[in-house]
Amino acid sequence: MPSLRQAACAAVIAAALPFAAHAESVTLQVEQVTPGADAHTNARVVDIKLKPDSVKTLANFTRERVGQRVQFRANGILLSSATLMSPLDGDSLRITAGEHGFAGKSAEEIAQGIMKEGSLTMDDENR
């Protein structure tokens, strides 16, 4: 049987939960994914074209998060983390690999994984 002290602690934690930050995420359905290299920097990139319904989803999600950090993930791999300077309202995205690629994977491997899955996820950074 829980002690009065444990019950009191549980009540305090439960009361604080509604005020805790709640991370959200959206799944974006992809139409086409193309690996490549940036023409100016030669950095490895993955170009992603979204399905029409996901264009709206992306715009709505990012409109509410201007000035905040968000992340793109595919198959459990963090692809990019950035601060939104404006809403993303186009039908395509370009994700550029960091210094060590995409978590050690090539742009081709990432593109194949996204196409196989058919989607990628965007979430609040505090997720």
92, 94, 65, 22: CA torsion to nearest 10: 100
Which one has a higher pLDDT value, 12 or 21? 21
Among 11-15, 58-62, 101-105, the range scoring the smallest mean pLDDT is 11-15
**Token pair 């692809």 in the structure block, residue:** 79
pLDDT of 60 above 80: yes
pTM of the predicted structure, to 2 decimals? 0.76
Contact 18, 108 (CB under 8 A): no
